Structure 1
Amino acid sequence: MLNLTSVLSLDGCDLRYGDSGGDGVPVVFTHGAGADHVMFDAQFRHLAGRGYRVVGWDLRGHGLSRPAGAPFTARRAVADLLALIGQLGLERPVLVGQSLGGNLGQAVVKRHPDLARALIVIDSTWNTAALSWTERLLLKAAAPMLSAVPAGRLPALMADASAVTPEARADARRAFAQVPKREFVQIWRATLDLLAPDPGYRTPVPLCLIRGERDRTGNIASAMPRWARAEGVAEVVVPDAGHLSTQDAPHAVNAAIENFLGGLR
């Protein structure tokens, strides 16, 4: 576990983060919408034990970084991540993101191609993919559908849709319950703002794509294989894992990350 004992105050929010320190390659983990840093506990332990400098944080309005202080927007979330990297003076960190965290990592690398050493995207869709008519319709309908779910039912509903194992579902319910429904819908809308079709764009740094075999969230199951083919990289599909593959199958995800990091120069 990485203790989030440090604070970066930005736009009315005390962003909580933890840093294992050391001289190893810095690896910055960003969690998904409604989740928090706990989803990466197994990865923190694994990589820190192998000499990497591990950094984790709770996004604005999530986990220990509450209250949000200001509305959650895509622009503000990207700025928060960049500010954290700057605060720690990290030199070309590897960015790791799950779901929304993966969308943020993609956005940062696209806007600042020299900032990161590599990008690892877990259970997240492809920001710059061309969207079909059906995908656009489903994305447009998602926020109203979430708004219609009673607030008391939303954490369990989201947890059951995201995770496969009982342990991962239980922790997801804990995390989702910390974010009020109104704020969660706002976060979801911000996630959509990170999707910006640009079919000719290719990631300028080494890229690792990981998804759970049973992830049925959005268009991830169809978009990530297309993304892997477009970029000429191998997609890692984790057996018996859902959208929260870092918790459903932590050992498999750890192995995929370590294998990728070992190949970096």
Structure 2
Amino acid sequence: MKEKIYESERGNVHYWVTNDNSNDMPWIVFLPGLTAGHNLFDKQIEYFRTKYNCLVWDAPAHGKSRPYAMDFTLDEVAKVLHEIIQLEQIEMPVIIGQSYGAYVTQAYLSLYSEPIRGFVSIDSCPLQKKYYSKWILWWLKHTEGMYRSIPWKLLIKWSLVGLVTSSYGRQNYKNDIEAYQKKYFCKLAGRGFYTVAEAIELDRPYPISCPILLLCGEKDAAGFTKSYNKKWSKGEGYQLIMVPNAGHNSNADNPDFVNSAIDTFLQKL
């Protein structure tokens, strides 16, 4: 993978593209979740890079994309994504977002008219306000304070519980968490959840006009992700596949199953 840097006054954003990009191959854009880095999708890029051009990033304020202004919004992150896609001259990509990455994708689709080939949501939730109660939005806006009250080692341990079930997935995410100091981790997580609540409160329709696949770990214990996936699937008529033996980072916990499900979805596009 070739590392590149998108420069802005708000901060620089690091992203990676496959070295052997071909005009004859379609693109997949991978967007990791909140506090996770680009390595979250290592197993997917390894699998798909022979058939697709691939791009993955450290989202603004994440990983190597620091320092970055910590008052970012979901729309701003979607705007940065759009500018990188334009910069790389990517047309009709498939966007695969895990957790926060899928929120970014929904914001992106609501802001820009350029079509995408497909959208895969991994362990995420809808942004439509109709799915949420007021207390859930309150909780999202007060995550930072709750995280700060927990000792750092315990916070790391709890952050892994329910998010990952495999030894590979656990080490993959643990490496990302331990790259942060506690204060920064709490601020980043808090800001991320706050931007999701803000985006929901905008009460946009967040239409998804491209083919979509929902994936969710059977053992996902992050908030109410499992129940929201079922409501999202039923409410909008989207296909939902539950990933066996996997938590919130299901693409790292059970990459073989996830890769196969994504591959089957892509072949129908």
TM-score in terms of structure 1 length: 0.90
- 3-state SS of paired residue (1:210): strand
The answer for the alignment partner of 1:119 in structure 2 is 119
**Cα distance per residue 1:51-108 (max 9 Å; x no partner):** 1111111111212212225543323211111111111011111111000000000111
Distance 1:134 1:193 in 2: 14
Counterpart of 2:216 in structure 1: which amino acid? R
The answer for the alignment partner of 1:185 in structure 2 is 190
User: Where does structure 1 differ by over 6 angstroms across 4 or more consecutive aligned residues?
Assistant: none
* Number of aligned residue pairs: 261
The CA deviation at 1:252 is: 0.6
Counterpart of 2:9 in structure 1: which amino acid? D
The CA deviation at 1:197 is: 7.1
The CA deviation at 1:8 is: 1.1
The percent identity for this pair of structures is 26
Q: Is 1:30 matched with 2:31? A: yes
Distance 2:48 2:74 in 1: 28
Q: Is 1:194 matched with 2:208? A: no
Q: 1:151 to 1:190 in 2, by over 3 A?
A: farther
The answer for the alignment partner of 2:78 in structure 1 is 78
Q: Which consecutive unaligned segments of at least 5 residues does structure 2 have?
A: none
Of the three residues 211, 216, 232, the one matched with 1:206 is 211
Query: Superposed, which structure 2 residues align to 1:1-265 within 5 Å?
Result: 3-20=1-18, 21-23=21-23, 24-49=25-50, 51-69=51-69, 71-130=71-130, 131-179=132-180, 180-181=184-185, 182-196=187-201, 198=203, 202-264=207-269
**Cα distance per residue 1:29-53 (max 9 Å; x no partner):** 010010001010010011112x111
Distance 2:69 2:17 in 1: 23
Counterpart of 2:200 in structure 1: which amino acid? L
Distance 1:145 1:232 in 2: 35
Q: Which consecutive unaligned segments of at least 5 residues does structure 1 have?
A: none
The CA deviation at 1:147 is: 2.8
40-49 or 144-153: bigger deviation: 144-153
Contact 1:15 1:59 in 2 (8 A): yes
Contact 2:30 2:96 in 1 (8 A): yes
Counterpart of 1:16 in structure 2: which amino acid? H
- 3-state SS of paired residue (1:40): helix
Distance 1:201 1:103 in 2: 10
Contact 1:14 1:65 in 2 (8 A): yes
Contact 1:11 1:70 in 2 (8 A): no
The CA deviation at 1:163 is: 0.7
244-253 or 168-177: bigger deviation: 168-177
Counterpart of 1:76 in structure 2: which amino acid? E
Distance 2:208 2:255 in 1: 26
- 3-state SS of paired residue (1:5): strand
Contact 2:109 2:207 in 1 (8 A): no
Distance 1:44 1:80 in 2: 22
The CA deviation at 1:226 is: 1.6
**Cα distance per residue 1:184-238 (max 9 Å; x no partner):** 3223322332324759664211111101011121221111112112222320100
Distance 1:73 1:229 in 2: 29
Contact 1:106 1:119 in 2 (8 A): no
